Structure 1
Amino acid sequence: MSQPLLLIAAGGTGGHMFPAQALAEAMLARGWRVKLSTDARGARYTGGFPHTTEIEQISSATFARGGVLAKAAVPFRILAGITAAKVKMWRDRPTVVVGFGGYPTIPAMAAATILRLPRMIHEQNGVLGRVNNLLAKRVNTVACGTWPTILPEGVEGVHVGNPVRGAVLERAGAAYIPPGDYPMELLVIGGSQGARILSDVIPPAIASLPMERLQNLRVSHQARGEDEERVRTYYAEHGISADVQPFFNDVPRRMSEAQLIISRSGASSVADISVIGRPSILIPYAAATGDHQSANARGLVDAGAAILIPESQMSVETVAQQIAIVLDNPDGAHHMARAAQGVGKPEATEHLVSLVETLAQKGTT
C-alpha cells in the first residue's frame, strides 16, 4: 500500500511556518509523505523542516505590497499558481491538504477545493487572517490555535491549540531558575523579522537598570537587519553583554535558559513561551489584523504569566519598570513561569494529527 500524502500550504512568516513544521514532523513520524507548498518568501523558512519534506514553490502574490503594476499582476500570478497546483495534484494526489494561512496558501487550497480533496485550515490567532477567512466556509475542518477564535457565521471551529516544533517540545516544562544574584539571560524577540520599536525602546530600558543587575545580565536580542548594528553598538557602549542577530535558529534553547522573555505576541511565540513556561512581557503588534496579537496574549496575561504593554503605552520608563518588577521578585517570576506552563498546550500537534487522520478516513467530499 502506498504511503498517504499530506500537502501542507503555508505562508512566508514564522507564525505560519512553525506550526506547519510541527505537523510535518509528526506526520512523517507516522509514515506519511509530506509536501510543503509555499512561495519564494516562505522557502526561506524551511531550513528547520525535516529533510524528507518535499518543498514545492508555487506562484502567489498579495495586494498588500508593490506598486500599481505589481497589484494589477496579482490575479494572474495567483491564477498561474492555482493551475500549477492542480497539475501537481493530478500527478501526485494528496490524501489531505492543510493550510496554515498567508497568501502563498491560496493556490494549493483553491486547487484542493476544485478537486474536492479532503482539506482543512489551521488558524493560529484569535482572529482569522484574511486568507483563512476566505477559506473557512470552503474546507471540511477549521482548527483553531487560540480560543475563542472569531469565526464567520455558520462556521464551527475545533480548538486544538498551536502546534510547536520538536525543539520546543523537548524543552516543555524545563526547570526554571528564577532571577537572583548570578548570571541571568533576557531574550528579546519581535516575530520572524524583528520589530523596530523593540530595538528603539528595549536597549535603553535595559541600560537604565541598576548596575548590580546589569553586571549579571546577558541579552539575546533579535533585531531587523537594518537595526542590527546600532542595537549591538548601543549595548556595547553601555557595557551590556548582548548577542544581537536578525534571526535566532535556536530560540527554544534561548527561551529555556531565559529568566525573562520580551516579545511580540504572535501566536507561535505565545505557544512556545507557554509550552516551555517562562515569564514574559508581551507587546502586541498594534497594526495586526483585528488586533489579534492582543487576543493571543490574553491567555498568558489572564493566568498571571505575562505582563502586557500596548504599543501606545510603550516607553523606556514603562518597560524598565516592568523588567525590574520581574527580575527583582524571584518568587513572583517563579509563579509566572508555572502559570505559563499551565496555559501551554504541548498536545496541540497530536490533536491536529488526529484531525488529519480523521479527514483521511472520510475521503473526498
Structure 2
Amino acid sequence: MSAADAIQHVDILGAGRMGQGMALAFAYAGLHVTLIDFKERDVEARIAFAATARGDIVRQLQTQVAFGRIKESQAAEVMARIAIVDRDRACALLPESAIVFEAVPEVMEAKEAAFAWLCNYVRADTVIASTTSTFLVTELQRIITHPARVLNAHWLNPAHLMPLVELSRSDTTDEAVVQRVVALLRRIGKVPVVCAPSAGYIVPRIQALAMNEAARMVEEGVASAEDIDTAIRTGFGLRFSILGLLEFIDWGGCDILYYASHYLARAIDPRFAPPQIVSDHMREGRDGLRDARGFYDYADVDVPAYLHKRLGEFGKALDNMGLAPAFNAALLENRSKADPQAA
C-alpha cells in the first residue's frame, strides 16, 4: 500500500468557502475529513458557525441530489464523513494527522499565526499544503518548521467540482512529499499539475491576461460584453477544453502564432509580441505537427490516430453543449419556414 493509499483522513485548517469545498471533495470520494475552524470564537459563536458551515455543505450536496448525481442516502453518507471542530478540539487530533491543507484568509499575518499554531501540534513528517493563491511556497517555507514537507496546493473554485489542483513546489520541497500529494489528489479524482514557485501559478496567470484583454475590448468598443463572452464560450473556451494552448500551437503550426503576434504587436500594442521561445522554434524548424516537433515531440506518435482521437473528443463536447452542426440544417430551416407544421 502506498503512502497516499494509507491516508484515510484529511485535516483542513480553515472552514470558509474553500475549506468547505475541499472537505466536500475528499468526503465525496470516501475519505474522512476534519474541518478546523481556526478563528477564535466564544462558545455560542462556535456552535453557530459550525451549523452554518454544515448547512452550506449540505446545500452543495442537495444540488447534486437535484441533478440526479447522487441519492439522499449518499449525501447523508458524505456528511457523516465530515467533522467540523474548533481549534481547541483540533489540538488533540492533529498529532495523528498525515496531511493538513491550510485554507485561512490570504493575509500573511493570518498565515503566520496559523502555521505557528499548527506546527505546535503536528508531527515533523506531517505534510502541509497551503491553498494560497497569493504567496509563493518559498515565502511560506520560511515561516514553517521542517520546510521540506511544505508545498502549495491551489484549488480552483468550486473546489468540489473543478478537477484541476495546481501544486507549486520549491527546490526545498521533498520530492516524496510532492508525489504523495499528487497520488492523494488523483485518488479522489482530481487532476494535479506541478509548477515552480512563480506568481500566478498556471491558470490564474493565463486567465488574468485573457480577462484583462476582454475588458480592454469592451473599453475600446471592439465588441459588446455579450458578444465577447459568446465568442469565449463557443470558440476559445470550447476549443481549449480539448486542446491545450501549447498543443494548439503545434496543431496549427508555430508560424501562425509567430506572424499573428507580430501583426498584433504592430497594430495594437507591443505586448502581443511573441516570446523568445516561439521565435526560437521558428528558427529551429520546430513548427509543430508538420515538423514532428514543437512544444511536444511527435516522432513516435501515430499522428492520424492522435488527430482522430482529438476530433472525436471535440465532437463529443459539441454534442454535450448542443452546438454540433446538424446535417441539412439550412434545408430544414427553409422547410420549417415554408411549412411551420413540418418543423
Higher strand share: 1
| Normalised TM-score (structure 1) | 0.31
Which one has a larger percent helix, Structure 1 or Structure 2? 2
TM-score by length of 2: 0.32
Q: Looking at CA atoms only, which structure, 1 or 2, has the larger radius of gyration? A: 2
Tell me: higher relative CO, structure 1 or 2? Use CA pairs within 8 A at least 6 residues apart: 1
